[in-house]
């Protein structure tokens, strides 16, 4: 039940179990190395340092938990992160941050570059959405508008509550992720999500053949390789955020619709202009709101109303869409 028991998760790529068992064994050995590198390794290197004092130059390194420590250069061992280490850091998230997204509806013209960038980064087909844009119309006599809709990364996520196996989970930095090595495909989370933000791999993912050849390690922060019979969803590009970059959709937008940042730092950065602004002021000055607040889901995605729009309102007869009154 515990998180530590992750280590015992059998690698579940069922097609190749025989072929991969030795590889998995080596992986688990590798995990031991990675897991102890930060803890026991630090003590050991401290001991070694006392012995070899002065024999080696000291260098500063950043540990997994974001501490800056000094170790002798000759003590450095290169560790490649294997799947279990990726899992561990992916489930913990980044300490001290609370990621938040602001979407300015006044700027969205349905270019759908966010959708394209997301789908190519996460290996999805054109109708498999982590983020999509919707044509919204709030009342019969109000103008329609375009609304990009990623996962809302709720602080009270109904989808996570109902997961029977802890496959989808919320991290300390607010991101709701899905672990497709754990997911049993019951789709309870799809039923629970009022924002229709989740998708399911009804068939083999589009890049299945490539996975077959290359056997890439599964990164829970990218949810690649995708797996048939499991859920996939928007990840706030946790892999990019970890290295200080803005999410794929945010950077891809040509119109400055997306802001992304850290609520703890009260700052969000626009993905198009890279301008950083105060989150609190942006929301205050533009009357920011969240989707369906009455459900108590507490989303981490804010919307700025489509006021003083820079684009025409969408036509009602947009191809491929059914404009429905929103609720």
> Which of 93, 145, 158 has the alpha carbon at shortest distance from 299?
158
Rounded CA separation 144/139 (Å): 9
Residues 162-201 close enough to bind other proteins by CB under 8 A: 162-167, 169-174, 182-188, 190-192, 194-196, 198-201
When the beta carbons of 69 and 192 are compared against other proteins, the nearer one is 192
Neighbours of 55 (CB within 10 A): 10
Least distance from other proteins to the Cβ atom of residue 84, Å: 15
Q: Look up residue 273 and give its DSSP letter.
A: T
Nearest CA to 237 out of 176, 283, 327 is that of: 176
Minimum distance, C-beta of residue 41 to other proteins, in the bound complex (Å): 25
**Least distance between other proteins and beta carbon 47 (Å):** 31
Stretch that binds other proteins, among 26-34, 39-47, 63-71, 312-320 (CB under 8 A): 312-320
Indicate which single residue of 84, 219, 239, 262 sits in contact with other proteins (rule: CB under 8 A).
262
Residue with Cβ nearer other proteins (74 or 95): 95
Which of residues 38, 42, 207, 323 is near other proteins by CB under 8 A? 323
Residues 80-139 that bind other proteins (CB under 8 A): 95-98, 109, 111, 113, 127, 129, 132-136
269 scored as a contact of other proteins (CB under 8 A)? yes
Residue 204 touching other proteins (CB under 8 A): yes
Residues 6+ apart with CB under 8 A from 301: 100, 101, 102, 103, 150, 151, 152, 153, 290, 291
CB atoms within 10 A of CB 108: 25
DSSP 143: -
**Cβ closest to other proteins, residue 69 vs residue 162:** 162
d(CA 214, CA 237): 22
Interaction of residue 311 with other proteins, rule CB under 8 A: yes
Q: Tell me the C-alpha distance between 157 and 169, whole Å.
A: 9
| Closest CB to other proteins among residues 54, 164 | 164
> From the CB of 313, what's the least distance to other proteins, in Å?
6
Q: x-or-dash pattern for other proteins, window 222-261, by CB under 8 A?
A: -----xxxxx------------xxx-------xxx---xx
Q: Compare residues 46 and 96 and give the one whose CB is closer to other proteins.
A: 96
Alpha-carbon gap, residue 56 to 38, rounded angstroms = 20
Encoded tokens for 3? 């998180």
142 binding other proteins? (CB under 8 A): yes
**Contact by Cβ (8 Å): 103, 109:** no
Number of residues that bind other proteins (CB under 8 A): 105
Q: Say whether residue 56 binds other proteins (CB under 8 A).
A: no
CA distance 90 to 84: 9
* Under 8 Å between Cβ of 223 and 232: yes
């Amino acid at each position: 039940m515990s998180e530590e028991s992750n280590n015992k998760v059998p690698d579940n790529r069922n097609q190749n179990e025989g072929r991969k068992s030795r590889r998995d064994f080596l992986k688990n050995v590798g995990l031991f190395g990675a897991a102890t590198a930060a803890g026991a390794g630090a003590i050991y290197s401290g001991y070694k340092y006392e012995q070899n004092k002065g024999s080696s130059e000291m260098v500063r390194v950043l540990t997994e938990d974001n501490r800056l420590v000094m170790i002798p250069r000759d003590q450095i061992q290169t560790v490649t992160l294997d799947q279990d280490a990726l899992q561990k850091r992916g489930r913990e998230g980044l300490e001290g941050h609370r990621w938040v997204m602001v979407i300015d509806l006044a700027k969205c013209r349905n270019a759908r570059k966010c959708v394209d960038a997301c789908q190519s980064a996460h290996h999805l087909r054109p109708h498999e959405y982590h983020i999509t844009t919707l044509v919204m119309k709030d009342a019969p006599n109000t103008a329609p508008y375009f609304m990009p809709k990623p996962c809302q990364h709720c602080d009270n996520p109904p989808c996570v509550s109902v997961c029977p196996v802890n496959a989808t989970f919320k991290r300390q930095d607010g991101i709701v992720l899905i672990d497709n090595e754990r997911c049993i495909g019951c789709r309870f989370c799809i039923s629970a999500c009022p924002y229709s933000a989740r998708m399911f791999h009804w068939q083999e993912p589009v890049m299945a053949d490539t996975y077959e050849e290359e056997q890439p390690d599964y990164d829970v922060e990218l949810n690649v390789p995708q797996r048939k019979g499991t859920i996939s969803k928007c990840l706030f590009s946790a892999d990019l955020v970890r290295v200080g970059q803005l999410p794929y959709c945010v950077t891809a937008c040509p119109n400055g619709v997306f802001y992304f940042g850290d609520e703890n730092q009260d700052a969000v950065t626009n993905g198009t202009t890279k301008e950083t602004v105060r989150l609190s002021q942006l929301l205050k000055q533009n009357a920011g709101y969240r989707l369906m607040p009455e459900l108590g889901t507490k989303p981490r995605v804010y919307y700025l109303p489509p006021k003083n729009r820079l684009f025409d309102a969408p036509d009602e007869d947009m191809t491929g869409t059914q404009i429905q009154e929103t609720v």
